[in-house]
Amino acid sequence: MILIGENIQILSKVVSNALKEKDEKPLQELAIKQAKAGADYIDLNIGPARKDPEVMKWLAGVIQEVVKKPLSLDTTNPVAMEAGLSVCKIPPLINSASGKQESKEKMLPLAAKYNCDVVLSVLIDAGIPTDSSSRAEAIMETVAYANEIGIPNERIWVDPIMMPISVDQPQVVELFEFMKILQDICPGAKSTLGLSNISNGTPEHLRGILNRICLAMLDRYGCFSAIVDSFDEELVKLAKGQLPDIKNLIYRAMDEEVDTSSLPKKETDIVKTVNVIMGRSLYSHSWLET
């Protein structure tokens, strides 16, 4: 699975200060560390960057000085996006466009113009679709539009939009349903999503296990990539196929009801987490304790 490292993002204090001061050191360090940890792409999330769209150009420049990984340019601002695109040496990923009218008009054409891959989310003007079939409907329309302006399915990374399980557990189940049918409705399209969003709102010490198990489950449904915390070592190993026993247990728990009475704690926790993500048991912050 392709991993996009999420650790350079505007909500982090270190990152926002460094961007403001144009201090490349901490940002370059973060990029190097992520590449070393196993990230295949380095996400550069600068937010909307309304005041200073040119910051993306500077950031992309300083990051590609130190890592030979493709970048994922992450902003909703098309001006900032183009500033970044104009300097990338390796074709980057546009993260992201959506089915919103404005995005279709201003962001999506950049993927055609610069001949690069683009993340296309299921978001439309009416909002985030609430079930798998409305996700399908939304993305088919946006993908058709992208095809028309010269972007083939193979260059589109569909983002089904992960919702926090603590807020709306049924939405997580719907997302999996959507992943199952994605290849039927958009043959050849790739996929990606903001994995850590599933554990947004979950107690900090429990976020890792949710993220990791969800990733393995997505992998099984053919999800091509995910935007992840590069510094979660176990997650990276799992995504790269280095933990076959855990992966097999996750798959088994997806297929059948696993009797946990004789399993050690770590494996019991895995089974319980699969059950919560699949919507078999009602989520609460103490799902591992019941």
Partner 1 sequence: MQLNDFFEPYKGETKEVAIGPSGKAVKLGGEQTLPFHAFEGKEGAPVRFALEVFDAPPEGWPEHLRSSYADVLSDPVAWADKCTNQYGADLISLYLSSLDSENADPTKIAEKVKDIADHISVPLIVLGVGDKDKDAKALVEIARVCTGKNLLLGPLVKENYEEIAKAALEGGHSIIPQSPLDINLCKELNVKLAKFFPKERVVIDPLSAAIGYGIDYSFSIMERVKQVAVIHNDEMMKVPMVANIGKDCWKTKEAKEDKTQGILWEALTAFTLILAGANLVIMRHPESLKLVKKLVSGKE
The span from the CA of 119 to the CA of 116, in Å, is 10
Q: How many residues bind partner 1 (CB under 8 A)?
A: 11
Q: Report whether 95 contacts 74 (CB < 8 A).
A: yes
Cβ of residue 281: shortest distance to partner 1, in angstroms? 6
Phi, psi dihedral angles at 257 (to 5 degrees): -80, 115
CB closer to partner 1, 122 vs 198:
198
Rule CB under 8 A: say whether 290 interacts with partner 1. Answer: yes
Cβ of residue 74: shortest distance to partner 1, in angstroms? 29
CB closer to partner 1, 240 vs 285:
285
Rule CB under 8 A: say whether 144 interacts with partner 1. Answer: no
CB closer to partner 1, 261 vs 286:
286
The span from the CA of 123 to the CA of 249, in Å, is 33
Q: How far is CA 204 from CA 4, 196, 287, in A?
A: 21, 11, 14
User: In the stretch 77-96, what mask flags binding to partner 1 with x, by CB under 8 A?
Assistant: --------------------
- Interface pick for partner 1 out of 50, 180, 266, 285 (rule CB under 8 A): 285
Cβ of residue 256: shortest distance to partner 1, in angstroms? 17
User: In the stretch 151-180, what mask flags binding to partner 1 with x, by CB under 8 A?
Assistant: ---------------x--x-----------
Cβ of residue 286: shortest distance to partner 1, in angstroms? 4
Closest C-alpha among 176, 172, 151, 152 to residue 163: 172
Cβ of residue 196: shortest distance to partner 1, in angstroms? 18
Sign of the Cα pseudo-torsion (236, 281, 256, 185, in order): negative
CB closer to partner 1, 148 vs 289:
289
The span from the CA of 182 to the CA of 188, in Å, is 9
Q: How far is CA 266 from CA 154, 248, 290, in A?
A: 39, 14, 14
CB closer to partner 1, 41 vs 283:
283
CB closer to partner 1, 255 vs 289:
289
The span from the CA of 3 to the CA of 18, in Å, is 24
Q: Report whether 4 contacts 228 (CB < 8 A).
A: yes
Looking at residues 244 to 283 of the shown chain, list those that interact with partner 1 (rule: CB under 8 A): 280-283
Please count the other Cβ atoms lying within 10 Å of the Cβ belonging to residue 253. 23
CB closer to partner 1, 201 vs 241:
201
Which residues contribute to the site for partner 1 (CB under 8 A)?
166, 169, 280-286, 289-290
